Chains A and B, each alone.
Chain A
Amino acid sequence: MNIVIVGLSHKTAPVEIREKVAFSPAEIEHPLKQLLALPSVSEAVIVSTCNRVELYGISRQPDVAIMEMKQFLAQSHGLESDVLAPHLYDFSGAEAIVHVLRVASSLDSMMIGEPQILGQIKTAYGYACEYKTVGLILNRFLRKAFSVAKRVRSETAIASNAVSVSFAAVELARKIFDSLENKTVMLIGAGEMCELAAKHFINNGVSNVLVTNRTFSRAERLAEEFNGTAVSFENFREQLHRVDIVLSSTGAPDYVLGAKKLKAVCKERRYKPMFLIDIAVPRDIDPAANKLDSIYLYDVDDLQGVVQANLKERQKEAAKAELIINEEVGQFQRWLATLEVKPTIVALRQKMEQVRQGEVEKTFSNLNGLNAKERKAIESMSSAIINKILHHPTHVLKQTSTEDDSSLYLDAVRTLFDLPDVDRQK
């Protein structure tokens, strides 16, 4: 039994291709059942996100299954196989296990450590359960993938640092103010990044928003959107003492806020800390203000620097995550392998038991006048012989199940003991 994967992702296919092969969740039932209906595939899951489309299957003939699944992916979207072929990747066996664990742990994501992918795979698994296209192996495997992803998340710091400028700003604010509840944010000017950052601040507890703009109507419109107050551009400096966080992005060629003014504001605020984020280029706030004790001034480059450092940190953590995954792959493979030998071991035991029972019956009918105790002794002796004989072969079968030539032993056992061929169709 092999786990087989065919798919494409942001690493192998541009968005023009990805959008063509995406499956919509509303209509996932049909493709799932079609995938399951492929002659070489048992069990099926389809993961479809904006960054990747992947088909998971279980098969005894991975090479055939990969071919069929590739064809299926192209056909179900009315594409020629050749168009898709250069963008597709495929994995089977251990590689497939590693791949899914990496994807679920967000190591294969565009932004390493992003949390959405795990949820997306869970959703895909949910559909497969609903339409009953998963069986023993994928069930166990995907649950394993979820637990590995959780382990990676809790044992490494892969997702702990902000990797976007606006999130980085929120994180910095948290390290200054602790809680953002009851803090006041002021937007000076209205850049897109500024608005995005403001939204993040509001989502994280900031309750008061002041907006100022050279064009007052624009300030009003934005203030309405954020449920805040518009302040005229001429007077915004008078409001600064109320403000804890400033987000500035005007198009002004000179400084809008000088260090001297800010010094006076600090005093007025009784030196409560103030976090100023200057996203404008050229800058809006005199960099000298950062020298003031209670002022923390960050410009675009500073924030980018934080993001870069965080990304580097995530990459370091990703290396730790790979180690965890390697550990878990081995474990799952061993389980999968024992699955392979189980039917043979069961058949072997059944065969022996049949032989034993037949011979015991014969013995009983030849020897008349055996009492219950003697019968029992013969029964248990014959059972013990079977157990002793089978002990070592069973052990060897289990041991070799993880090796490449395991089928050699299985075939030998089947031939030597004349066992029926157990389900080998898929």
Chain B
Amino acid sequence: MGTMNLLFGATTLIYLLASICYLVAMLGKRSQVGRAGRWMLLAGVILHAACFGVRHSTAGGTPVTSLHESLAFFAWCLVLLFLLLDLRFHLSVMGAFAAPLAFLLMIASALSPNVVVQLNPVLKSWLFPVHIVFAFLGNAAFALSFGAGVMYLIQNRMLKSKRFTGLYQLLPSLDILDRVNYTCLSVGFPLMTLGIISGAFWANTAWGTYWSWDPKETWALITWFLYAALLHGRLTVGWRGRKAAIFSIIAFIFLLFTFLGVNLLLGGYHTFEAFAIL
């Protein structure tokens, strides 16, 4: 437990330092500092993975059974996907969104009770980790598409109104932002789909039914339809740019509600308490 807390603390600190780097890079227009932030995030993501490893070897099972653990896992997915995107598109400005978000998720995680929930034997199946990993990677991809969407709207507004602030130089071109939005969508959507399907199969082994209209399932389906509509619009009608950005922002708000709101407000068997041995 001690090693894990140490690793958790160190990871959180590194995410904080990376956030500071990215924000300084953005506000002070110093791109070297942004590069330092990237290396820090890389260190953070490795340390964080080690943290999961320790958690797995001491407590066993998939390390995503409590709110504490899932928030931290979300942060890890987010940072990992951001680093991959950055590799492809050179998006260090987006670090000023991704790194602080990861840091805040870690703080939220630290504030929620750190308990290792012993999984109800009924729920033990290889499908559980598969379901969780797909769902969270999908969420992280959508969070980044949300970030890209917000950045697109800001940049678009400046180009349309012809009034430019300091952000103008910093933000990537509309083309890059739109491509990032699309990349995240095309990565996130299959992940989310696989997450839902694997979840259904798991539900079948655990409860003997694939789908039971539990609130989380319902909302996940709504969110899935929204993203499906966006993907469809992009591929067939030629939705792009501002429209796609707004759509991905709205869809992400639904996703957030599915991820957090449902647990906190609506209950159902996706709540973390429900995982425990009854």
Contacts and interface: CB of A to CB of B under 8 A. Distances in A.
Nearest to B243: A293
A305 interface: yes
A175 B238 contact: no
Contact of A293 (B168, B237, B242): B242
A239 B8 CA distance: 59
Interface in A260-291: 270-273, 290
A298 interface: yes
B117 to A, nearest CB: 47
A418 interface: no
Contact of B172 (A178, A271, A298, A305): A178
B173 A174 contact: yes
Interface stretch (B61-69, B92-100, B157-165): B157-165
Contacts of B174: 175-178, 273
Nearest to B159: A296
Nearest to A291: B160
B270 interface: no
A157 B170 CA distance: 12
Given A271-B239, A272-B240, A273-B174, A175 B162 contact: no
B239 A175 contact: no
Interface string A177-195: 1110000000000000000
Contacts of A270: 237-238, 240
B214 interface: no
A210 B243 CA distance: 30
B29 interface: yes
Given A176-B175, A178-B176, A293-B243, A305 B162 contact: yes
B116 to A, nearest CB: 47
Given A157-B29, A298-B162, A175 B168 contact: yes
Contact of B173 (A177, A298, A306, A309): A177
Given A178-B172, A273-B174, A296 B29 contact: no
A302 interface: yes
A271 B240 contact: yes
B240 A160 contact: no
B48 to A, nearest CB: 32
B118 interface: no
Interface residues of B, number: 20
A306 B175 contact: no
A294 interface: yes
A352 interface: no
Interface in B222-275: 237-243
A174 B168 CA distance: 12
B154 to A, nearest CB: 12
Contacts, number: 51
Interface in B121-176: 155, 159-160, 162, 164, 168-169, 172-176
Interface residues of A, number: 23
A224 to B, nearest CB: 31
A302 B162 contact: yes
A310 to B, nearest CB: 9
A305 B158 CA distance: 13
B241 A178 contact: no
B173 A175 contact: yes
Contacts of B241: 271, 273, 293-294
A172 interface: yes
A272 B241 CA distance: 8
Given A175-B168, A271-B239, A271-B241, A290 B160 contact: yes
B164 A306 contact: yes
Given A157-B29, A172-B159, A305-B162, A178 B239 contact: no
A271 B175 contact: no
Nearest to A174: B173
A309 B164 contact: yes
Contacts of A179: 175
B37 to A, nearest CB: 19
A293 B174 CA distance: 12
A290 B162 CA distance: 11
A281 to B, nearest CB: 17
Interface in A275-330: 290, 293-294, 296, 298, 302, 305-306, 309
B129 to A, nearest CB: 39
Nearest to A154: B32
Contacts of A157: 29, 169
Contacts of A175: 155, 159, 168, 173-174
A127 B159 CA distance: 47
Contacts of B243: 271, 293
Nearest to B168: A175
> Which 5 residue pairs spanning A and B have beta carbons closest together?
A270-B238, A178-B173, A178-B175, A302-B162, A175-B173
9 contacts: A175-B155, A175-B159, A175-B173, A175-B174, A271-B239, A272-B238, A273-B241, A293-B243, A298-B162
Interface of A: 157, 160-161, 172, 174-179, 270-273, 290, 293-294, 296, 298, 302, 305-306, 309
Given A161-B169, A177-B173, 11 more contacts: A157-B29, A160-B169, A175-B159, A175-B174, A176-B159, A176-B174, A176-B175, A178-B172, A290-B160, A294-B241, A302-B162
